[in-house]
Structure 1
C-alpha cells in the first residue's frame, strides 16, 4: 500500500444526499465499484477501481443541515494535531477535529485563509489512495483562489513545500497566474495553485479542484451529461492532457483528464 509523505494529497471523499445516485453517476463516468457502507462511521462507503480504493462517498448526518455536495481533498500528515496547530498559526480555520476515526487514522477539516475547504489525514489502518494517476483514480489537484499571495504563504507554512511559478509570458495581474508546489524538488509536484482571475472572475470563491484520470475525456463528458451532470469548462487540450471541468447531478465539481492525450510543449517553471 502506498505511503504518502507529509503534504501529499492522499485521499478524497464527498457527501451526497442521494448516495445511490452518486454510485450510479461515478460508476458510469469513472468506472467505480463500491464496498459495503460502514454503519459505525456514518455509512462511509469506499469506491474502488480495479479492486483498489480510490475515493469514498458518504450520506449526510441525520438531523444535520442540508449538505453541499463537494469533493474534499485530504493531505497526509504524520501528526494531525500538530498540523492543526500549524493551520491555526498560519491564519487558517479549523472546521472539525483533530479527531480519531477508529483504527483508520486521525483527521482534521479546515479552511485556508482565502476560503478553500480541505482536510488532513494521519494514517492508521487506512493509508489513503491505493491507486493514483491511473484511469479512474485521482491524479492532480489545484487550489483555485482569489488571493494567491495569502494562499501561497499559508501552504508553505503548513506543509514542507517548495514551489515554482509557471512561466506563460502573461502578466500575473491580468493573465495566467499558476504555481506548482512540490515535495523534494521541482520534479515532484503535488499541488497546483491558480488565481480565480484566470477562470471565473475575481469574485469566485476559493476551492480545490480534484482531477480524476480517464481514458478518453470526451467520452467521459458524454457519459456525465447523459446522467445529468454539467460541463463548466472544456473539453480542451493542454500539454498535461485533454480535460474538462464537470459537476455531477448533485452539484459536486471535479475535473476529468486524459493524461495520454497531450497538445503543446510543457511550460517552463521558475
Structure 2
C-alpha cells in the first residue's frame, strides 16, 4: 500500500514482556505469522496475515518500566517533527521525540490532552499496513476519551480531519474524515468504564467470524470486555489479551440494522 494521507491510521504495534506468548495468542486468534526478530531494532518483530505485514510486537527496552501492554496506533505524517510541534501547540504531550528508525521511517509517540497515547509515523521504506479491512488485518480505530471536547479540538487542530457527529442519544460518537474517507472514530467513555481506566485508542482487527475469534481468545486466557454485538458496521467484540492489551475484533461481513444518521459538525 502507498504512503497514506496525513492523519490516516497507518501502523500498529504493541510491547509485550512475553513476546512468545503474544505471538502464540495472536497467531491463534487472528491467524498471524511472524517474521524474524530484528535485533538491530530491539527485537521488533513484524506480524503477517496472508503474507502481508499488518502489525508488530516488541519486547520492552531495558530502560523502560514495565507497564501494562497496550496497542499503539500510528497516524501518518509527512513531517513527524512538524506534527510533534502541532501536538505541543494544541495541548498534547510528546512522549518520545521524533526518531529515525534506520531507513524505515521516523516515529514519534504522543499523548492527547485527555490522556490517550498514540504514535506518529513518517514513512520511509516502511509505508505501513500492507493490508487493511481483510481478515487478520487492521480494520478501524477509535479514541476512547472521558473528555471528548478536548480530544475533538486536538485531533482536528493537529490533523486535516473533517469531523462529523453520529446522531444517537445513546452514545456520544464522532467520526473524522480525510477527503471522502472516514478514517477514525472518537467515543465518549461512559460510567461503564472503571474510573482507573485511562483514555486510550482502541484498535480493531478484522476476523472472518467474531464469535469464533472471541471463543479462541477467551480459551487462551483473553478476557471478553464487551459483545459480541451486531451493528450496521459489522459484528464486533472488545477483548483484553492475557497480558492486558485491549483490542477489538470485527467481522465486517456480518452487519445488522440501518446506518445511523451522521451530521457535519
TM-score (norm 1): 0.95
Which deviations, in whole Å up to 9, do the C-alpha atoms of 1:85-114 show, x marking residues without a partner?
000000000000111111000011000000
Which deviations, in whole Å up to 9, do the C-alpha atoms of 1:176-232 show, x marking residues without a partner?
1000001003xx110000100275267742100000000000000000011111000
Name the counterpart of 1:268. Answer: 261
Q: CA deviation at 1:236?
A: 0.9
Match of 1:184 among 165, 174, 179: 179
SS across alignment from 1:197: coil
Summarize the Cα distance change of 1:42–1:182 in structure 2 as closer, same or farther, 3 Å threshold. same
SS across alignment from 2:75: strand
Q: Which runs of 5+ in 2 are unaligned?
A: none
**Is the Cα–Cα contact under 8 Å of residues 146 and 203 in structure 1 kept in the other structure?**
no
Name the counterpart of 1:194. Answer: 187
Name the counterpart of 2:218. Answer: 225
Once residues 87 and 192 of structure 2 are traced to their aligned partners in structure 1, the CA distance between those partners, rounded to angstroms, is 27
Once residues 227 and 201 of structure 1 are traced to their aligned partners in structure 2, the CA distance between those partners, rounded to angstroms, is 24
Name the counterpart of 1:75. Answer: 75
Once residues 221 and 63 of structure 2 are traced to their aligned partners in structure 1, the CA distance between those partners, rounded to angstroms, is 27
**Is the Cα–Cα contact under 8 Å of residues 95 and 110 in structure 1 kept in the other structure?**
yes
The answer as to 2:96 corresponding to 1:126 is no
Once residues 93 and 190 of structure 2 are traced to their aligned partners in structure 1, the CA distance between those partners, rounded to angstroms, is 24
Q: Which runs of 5+ in 1 are unaligned?
A: none
Q: CA deviation at 1:3?
A: 2.1
Name the counterpart of 1:142. Answer: 142
Name the counterpart of 1:95. Answer: 95
**Is the Cα–Cα contact under 8 Å of residues 16 and 67 in structure 1 kept in the other structure?**
no
CA-atom RMSD, angstroms? 1.2
Name the counterpart of 1:12. Answer: 12
Q: CA deviation at 1:62?
A: 1.9
Match of 2:249 among 217, 233, 256: 256
Structure 2 counterparts to residues 47-66 of structure 1, below 5 A: 47-66=47-66
Name the counterpart of 1:246. Answer: 239
Once residues 54 and 70 of structure 2 are traced to their aligned partners in structure 1, the CA distance between those partners, rounded to angstroms, is 16
TM-score (norm 2): 0.97
Summarize the Cα distance change of 1:238–1:198 in structure 2 as closer, same or farther, 3 Å threshold. farther
